[in-house]
Structure 1
Amino acid sequence: MKDYKKYYSVPASPEEIYLALTTPATIFLWTGEEAEMSTEPGSEFSLWEGSISGKNLEFEYGKKIVQEWYFGDQEEKSIVTIKLHPDKDGTSVELRHSNIPDEDFQDIKDGWDGAYFGALIDFYS
């Protein structure tokens, strides 16, 4: 199991980023894909036609999102924590993703940098 931590700079307010990550209609705008998402703790979510799915654990409007991501029958929970910090250029996004299966690590890392936060940065640029 591996952990991944990275900071991203996104040229939008923390509130805009929060809504872009939690509102299905806004997720569609920057991904081009339908999404199942709710800010109700305990609810299930699905992105990119199910290639990312899991359970929503915790939300703090404009500040924090915590999710469990599913990887098959993995016993240890893979937890994603996204913290949003205002900065002079918009938002500094702090990403922590724990317990990523070794065989999935490179794909997950590339996905965060490209399809996920790369696409979000492009959307707001």
Structure 2
Amino acid sequence: MAEYTASVEIEAHPDVVFDYLVTEAGMNAWMGQTATLDPRAGGEFAVGIAGAAVRGRYLEVERPHRVVVSWGMAGSTDLPPGASTVAFTLTPIAIGTRVDLLHSNLPDAQLDGHNDGWTHFLARLRVAAAGGEAEEDNWMPIEHRQR
């Protein structure tokens, strides 16, 4: 199993950034086309991303410092719903917030695709949470681009 880590600095207060991880409008502004979220321990985490149905549960919700969700893809045998864990840690910094992401329990074969996706989507989070509007999102998973 593999881990993916990344950080992004956002010119916004942690309370503002936090809402982009726990509200449907916030999530759709940077990562999903659809979202059904129940941001409490055990609550539903369902996001549609580029045709993929990400499914899991909120495991930790500590405003405005930490959000942890289980993560997987509906219909996947490699990474079924809830098989991996994504942790967002929000730390106040001089310009606003540093978001540290840790995606753990990824199958090794999934690491490159998730690296590509998180790089793309964290850049969009930086824009959206700072009050900007992320451009239209035409991102596709690596495996769909190679066909």
Whether TM-score is above 0.5 comes out as yes
Match of 1:51 in 2: 53
Unaligned ranges ≥5, structure 2: 133-147
Shift of 1:39: 1.1
Pairing of 1:72-111 with structure 2 (within 5 A): 72-73=76-77, 77-111=83-117
Q: Once superposed, what is the RMSD of the aligned Cα atoms?
A: 2.1
**Secondary structure of the residue that 2:118 maps to in structure 1?**
helix
TM-score, normalization by structure 2: 0.75
| Distance in 2, Cα, partners of 1:32 & 1:47 | 6
TM-score, normalization by structure 1: 0.86
Deviations 1:78-101 (A, max 9, x none): 111110000011101111111111
Q: Percent sequence identity over matched residues?
A: 29
Distance 1:31 1:67, change over 3 A: closer
Corresponding position: 1:4 with 2:9: no
Paired residues in the alignment total 124
Distance 1:32 1:42, change over 3 A: closer
